Structure 1
Amino acid sequence: MRPARRTPPSRRMFAAGLVALAATPATAGHAAGLARHDADDCPPQGLRRELTARLDETIEDTRRQAGIPGAVVGLWMPGRGGYVRSFGVADTATGEPMAVDSYVRIGSETKTFTVTALLMLVDDGRIGLDDPISRYVKGVPNGHRITLRNLAGMRSGLFPYTADPDFINELLSNPQRSFTPRQLLAYGFRHANTFAPGQEFQYSNTNLVLLGLVIEKVSGRRLADFIHERVLRPAELHHTLFPEGNEFPEPHPRGYTNQTLSGEVEDATDWNPSWAWAAGAMISNLHDLRRWAPIVATGRLLSPETQAQRLRTLPTGYPGTTYGLGIFETNGWIGHNGSIPGYETVTVYLPPRRATLVIMINTDVMVEGQEPSTVLARAVTSVATPDHVYDGSVINP
C-alpha cells in the first residue's frame, strides 16, 4: 500500500492495465437481506427502516457502478442499531450469491495484527520502538538509522519490494510460487532508499516483512504462531488465520483481479499469498473483523502508554488522512483497509459514535482510479455518518 491512488498501472502493487469488470445479470442481483449472525453480532433492533432502505439502495447502486461482483457490509452503531447485508455474487460463473459468513483474504489489514504483535513485545520490555532494525536484522540498507518506529509508521525510506519489476514478473508468471521473507527483502534492497528515515511517509511492504522477522527473532517463534497465541486467542478471533500456503477455508467467494500479465481480469482465488507475508497474507470473516475493529482502535491488548504511541498519527501528505503505527485515521475513522489480488476489505472504528464498519468485496479492480472498497465505504458513510465520511483512498494497500 502506498499513499497514492492507484491511478496509473505503474502505481499499483503490480504493473497491469485497468480493466473494468463487465456487468452481467449475475452481478446485478438484489441485496440478500438481513444475514445470519451470532447473537452478539447485532443489536436486537436494526437501523430504522428509512436508513436501512437508503443503505440498501446506495450500496447496490455503488456496487453495480463500480463493477464489484459481491460485497458484504456490516455497520454497527450503538443506540441506533445494526446493519448486516450481502450483495451480488460470490462466483460470476455460477451466480452463487455472496454470503455474510464468507472468509476473505484481508490483505493489508494483516498489518494491524503484525504491528499489534510487535507492540506487545514492547509492553513485554523485550524491544523498544526506537531500536534500530540493524540490531535484529542484518543487511538492511541504512539499518543502523532506521528504527522499528520508522518501519511501523511507514517512514523508513526503504524501497517497496512490490514495486520491483522482477518481483512483479516472477509473481504474476507463477502466482502459486512460495516466497520466503528474505527473498522478498532482496527485491527491495537492490534499490536505493528513497529518503532518510523519518523524513517522509511512503507505504512500503518491505517495512512489515522486516517487523515480522523482528517478532520471530525476539520471540523465538514463527510469526503465524506468535500472532495466533498472543493476538488472535486473547482477542477471541476464532475465524482469523495466517495461512502457510494458498489454503482458504470455506465458504469463500471467488476473487477477481486485473493485476495480471495480460491486464485482463482473472480469478486470483487460489493465489499463494506468501509474497505478502507479515504485510498482507491473513484471512478473516465479518464476525472477527467486527470484533477486531474496536480492539485495535482502542488498544484493548496493549498498555495505554503503548496504544498512545500507536495512535500518534502523522501526516501522509494527503488531506484528511494520517498514519500511526500500522493504523490510520481518516475523518475520525480509525483502522485499516486491505487489498490483495481478488479481494479488498475495510475495517474501521469511529470512537465518538462507538461505531464499527466492515466491508468485504471480491475484487480489487479499480474504478476511476480508486480502490473499489474505498468507493463503497465512502458511499456507506455518506449515508450513515455524513459528518464522518470515510476517505481512505490515499492509503493504497
Structure 2
Amino acid sequence: MRRTPSRRVLAATLLVASVLAPMAAIPATAVNAAAAVARHDRGDEHPPQLGHQLTARLDAAIEKVRRQADIPGVVVGLWMPGKGSYVRATGVADTATGEPMTTDKFFRIGSETKTFTVTALLKLVDDGRIGLDDPISAYVDGVRDGDRITLRQLAEMRSGLFPYSADADFVHDLLSDPSRTFTPEELLAYGYKHKNTFAPGKAFEYSNSNLVLLGLVIEKVTGHRVEDVIERQVLRPAHLRHTLFPSGPEFPDPHPRGYTNQTLSGEVADSTDWNPSWAWSAGAMISDLHDLRRWAKVVATGELLSPETQAERLKTLPTGFPGLSYGLGIFKSGGWIGHNGSIPGYETVTVYLPSQHATLVLMINTDITDGGQEPSSLLARAITQIVTPNNVYDRPLPTRQETRTPGPPSL
C-alpha cells in the first residue's frame, strides 16, 4: 500500500463522506445470523452474464486500475437488463493473510449514508410533517444564519455552513483517537467555529455539517433516533436486510479489512474497526452488494416517495465541477444517478442509469487516492467507458475535502 504525507480532511463521504452508526442497535452477531439466512434464501442469483468479449474487457480494465491505483480488493456489480450482468471480486480482503476478496462482504459505505438520511427526511415531507423550505432554525438552535438556511439547501449542499470535517482541530481529535465516540452536537461545534462560506443558496459546497443537521431534524420531528427512523421508514420498506446504521465500531461478518493513509503520520493504517460515529447521519452506514443493487433503483426512481417529492429530489443544480450536478442527497454524473461514499479504509459507488435501467455498484477496501483521484471513481470511469460510452461516470463528487491551504482547491 502507498504511503503519502497528505493530511486529508475526513469528509465522510468521508464523505464521506464518505464515509456512511447501525441500524440502530442490532448486535453484530444478530446481523450476521440474519444475513446468513437471507443469503441462503435468495440464492444470490444473477441474470445471464455479459458476452465473453465484453466480460474480458471489463476484467482487464478493472485489474489495470486496481494494480495502478494499488487497491487491495474490488467488488463490482453491473446489471444491464436485456444484456446481462457482471459480478466480480478481485484482489484481497486482507493484505496480511492474503484472504481473497469475495462478493458477499459487508462494506462501510461512507457518504452513501446521505441517500438514506435524505430519503427519511423526504418521507416526512410526504407525511406533511416538515417542508423543504422550512428554516433549520425551526428545528435546531444555534445554527449561524439558521433563519435563512432551509432544509432544502442543507440537502442540496448549498447552505454555506463550514464543513466540520474540514476543521483542523476535528481532524486532529479524530485521528488521535479513531475509537472515540462523537455526538452530533460535538461535530457541529467544530464547524460553528468558522464563519459561513457563502450566503444560503448562492453556491455548492459539500459539507457533512448539512447532513448531521438533517439527522437532528429527523430526530426532533419524530422523537426517535435517526438510526431507528431509517430502519423503520427506509430499510424495511425497501426490503434491505443487509444494511445497517451502527451505533459504534461494530461491523458484521464477513467484511474486508480497510486501509487508509488518513493518519496523523501519513502512514497506512488498518481502519477496519474505527468508530464511524464522527460521520453519523452523513456517513456511518454499512451495506453489501445486493442491497446496494436494490437501493440504486429505489433512490433513482423514487419508489419510497411520492412522484412530486421525487421530482423535487431530482432537481439537480450545478456544482462547479463539469458534468456533475447535485440534488437532494443525490447526484447526476454522465446520466448516472446515485451517490458515492468514502470513509477511512473504504469507498463505494452506487448509481443507476435510467435510460438503460442499468445499475452499477462498486466497493473497495481503501480510500487512498491515486494522483489526487479517488480510486472508486477511477474504476467507475473505466467501467462505464466500456459498457455505456455515451454515459461515462466522469466527474465524481468531491467527497473528500482537503486541508484548506492557499491556492486552488484540490479534489
The 5 Å alignment of 1:48-197 reads: 48-197=51-200
Amino acid at match of 2:159: S
What CA distance in whole angstroms lies between the structure 2 residues aligned with 1:198 and 1:87? 43
Q: Is it true that 1:372 corresponds to 2:375 in the alignment?
A: yes
Match of 1:13 among 3, 10, 13: 10
What CA distance in whole angstroms lies between the structure 2 residues aligned with 1:390 and 1:251? 29
Report SS of the residue matched to 1:250: coil
Paired residue for 1:214?
Answer: 217
Amino acid at match of 1:100: T
Q: 1:156 to 1:8 in 2, by over 3 A?
A: farther
Amino acid at match of 1:363: T
Post-superposition offset of 1:394: 3.9
Show CA shifts across 1:65-114 (max 9, x none).
11000000000000000110000000001000001000000000000000
Q: 1:203 to 1:337 in 2, by over 3 A?
A: same
Match of 2:46 among 31, 42, 45: 42
Return the TM-score normalized by structure 2. Answer: 0.88
Paired residue for 1:271?
Answer: 274
Show CA shifts across 1:321-348 (max 9, x none).
1000000000100000000000000000
Unaligned 5+ runs, structure 2: 12-39, 401-411
Contact 1:107 1:338 in 2 (8 A): yes
Show CA shifts across 1:209-266 (max 9, x none).
0000000000111000000000000000000000000000000000000000000110
What CA distance in whole angstroms lies between the structure 1 residues aligned with 2:58 and 2:248? 37
Paired residue for 2:351?
Answer: 348
Amino acid at match of 2:311: A
Paired residue for 2:312?
Answer: 309
Q: Is it true that 1:319 corresponds to 2:293 in the alignment?
A: no
Unaligned 5+ runs, structure 1: 1-6, 15-35
Show CA shifts across 1:133-183 (max 9, x none).
000000000000000000000000000000111110000000000000000
Post-superposition offset of 1:390: 0.6
What CA distance in whole angstroms lies between the structure 2 residues aligned with 1:37 and 1:385? 33
Post-superposition offset of 1:9: 3.9
What CA distance in whole angstroms lies between the structure 1 residues aligned with 2:359 and 2:384? 11
What CA distance in whole angstroms lies between the structure 1 residues aligned with 2:140 and 2:302? 27
Show CA shifts across 1:277-334 (max 9, x none).
0000000000100000000001000000000000000000011010000000001000
What CA distance in whole angstroms lies between the structure 1 residues aligned with 2:41 and 2:66? 23
Q: How many aligned residue pairs are there?
A: 370
Show CA shifts across 1:15-51 (max 9, x none).
xxxxxxxxxxxxxxxxxxxxx99456521x1101110
What CA distance in whole angstroms lies between the structure 2 residues aligned with 1:139 and 1:51? 55
Report SS of the residue matched to 1:393: coil
Post-superposition offset of 1:386: 1.1
What CA distance in whole angstroms lies between the structure 2 residues aligned with 1:122 and 1:102? 34
More relative contact order, 1 or 2 (CA 8 Å, 6+ apart): 2
Q: Over the residues paired in the alignment, what is the CA RMSD in angstroms? A: 1.6
Report SS of the residue matched to 2:123: helix
Q: 1:37 to 1:157 in 2, by over 3 A?
A: farther
What CA distance in whole angstroms lies between the structure 2 residues aligned with 1:190 and 1:321? 30
Paired residue for 1:30?
Answer: none
Post-superposition offset of 1:12: 3.8
Post-superposition offset of 1:358: 0.1
Contact 1:337 1:392 in 2 (8 A): no
Amino acid at match of 1:187: Y
Match of 1:386 among 389, 395, 405: 389
Return the TM-score normalized by structure 1. Answer: 0.91
What CA distance in whole angstroms lies between the structure 1 residues aligned with 2:397 and 2:361? 18
Report SS of the residue matched to 1:211: helix
Contact 1:256 1:362 in 2 (8 A): yes
What CA distance in whole angstroms lies between the structure 2 residues aligned with 1:50 and 1:369? 32
Contact 1:370 1:393 in 2 (8 A): no
